[in-house]
Amino acid sequence: MLFKNNSLNLFFAFLGGLFLLFLVAPLLNLMLAASPAKLFETASDPVVSKSIGLSLTMAAVATFFSALLAVPFAWLMARSKFRLKHLVSGLIDLPMMIPHSAAGIALLGVINRESAFGQFASNLGIDFIDRPAGIAVAMAFVSVPYLFNASYNAFSGVPLRTEHAALNLGASPIKVFFRISLPLAWKGVLNGLIMMFARGMSEFGAVIIIAYNPFTTPVLIFDRFNAFGLKNAQGISALFILISLVVFIGLRLITKPSEDVRN
């Protein structure tokens, strides 16, 4: 560690301790409020287990289909220079900046049953309002910027000369993408997939506008809190946090970077 055992390190460590306390204290208090028996009882509730399964499944669906669009476009943006590039990047980041309830309202105007797109989808047998498909769309809309930005940064770190060398040796652009660019950027892309999945499964504001029912877990927590109060909502919250923590840590271990420690 740089400047070992000096007052600046101690002061920054103190600030870091306050920062960690701010993050950990509410979660620890929630876990202590929910006994193992309460967690088991909550997990046995079919409504709760169904909501958790729906949250995880729709977050995975949203992440998968978004990756088909966002990852190739991130590569294209990383390799392109044009006048409106910063404007396009700003538009992609916009869903992270606006209130998610407003994002839900904006989506609702496009996918409701009376809209042109909603009627077109309905003719294909697809309905979004109060349906899992709508939940997936809402999750994707607010969380896909995390995937795009992580993928863009990963592709930006791939040396252009490596891609050009492969092209000069006769490889097609599609082979260069799948055999050179994507393998070299895969950890960053995977990190973006994890961040999008995690953000999607926790989404509340946009989802509740599009699909109050069937319940995702965040919406169910809100519903139980309104109907039965804090105690009832604590058990579901604690269980969902534990499951999210296990899933997130497991996925993070896949992308654990090698530590580069320089003395």
Q: What is the pLDDT of residues 31-80, one digit of tens each?
A: 887 778 888 888 889 999 999 999 999 999 999 999 999 999 999 999 98
3-state helix, strand, coil in the chain (%, to 5): 80, 0, 20
- For residue 240, the tally of other CB atoms under 10 A from its CB is 22
Least confident of 174-178, 236-240, 252-256: 252-256
pLDDT-derived band at 30 (thresholds 50, 70, 90) equals: confident
- Residue 111, CB-side half-sphere exposure with 13 Å CA sphere: 24
pLDDT at position 260 is: 47
Give residue limits of the domains in the chain.
51-102+129-254
pLDDT at position 7 is: 83
pLDDT at position 262 is: 45
Q: At residue 138, what is the residue type?
A: A
pLDDT-derived band at 152 (thresholds 50, 70, 90) equals: very high
The mean pLDDT value for 205-210 works out to 94
Query: Would you state the structure tokens that stand for residue 40, as one six-digit string?
Result: 């088991």
Q: What is the DSSP-derived secondary structure letter of residue 34?
A: S
The percentage of the chain sitting over the pLDDT mark of 70, rounded to a whole number, equals 94
pLDDT-derived band at 261 (thresholds 50, 70, 90) equals: very low
Cis check for the bond before 214: say yes or no (omega within 30 of 0).
yes
- Residue 182, CB-side half-sphere exposure with 13 Å CA sphere: 13
Instruction: For the domain made up of 51-102+129-254, give the CATH fold.
Output: MetI-like fold (1.10.3720)
Q: At residue 85, what is the residue type?
A: K
d(CA 168, CA 151): 25
CB 139 within 8 A of CB 203: yes
Q: Is the pLDDT of residue 224 over 60?
A: yes
Per-position b or e across 8-35, b if 16+ CB within 10 A of its CB: eeeeeeeeeeeeeeeeeeeeeebeeebe
- Going by C-beta distance under 8 Å and a sequence separation of 6 or more, which residues neighbour residue 203? 100, 138, 139, 142, 143, 216, 218
Residue entry with tokens 């804090």: 230
CB 163 within 8 A of CB 217: no
d(CA 207, CA 132): 10
- What are residue 129's phi and psi, to 5 degrees? -75, 125
- What are residue 238's phi and psi, to 5 degrees? -65, -45
Nearest to 245, CA basis, from 208, 212, 198, 209: 198
Q: Is the pLDDT of residue 4 over 80?
A: no
- For residue 130, the tally of other CB atoms under 10 A from its CB is 12
Q: At residue 239, what is the residue type?
A: L
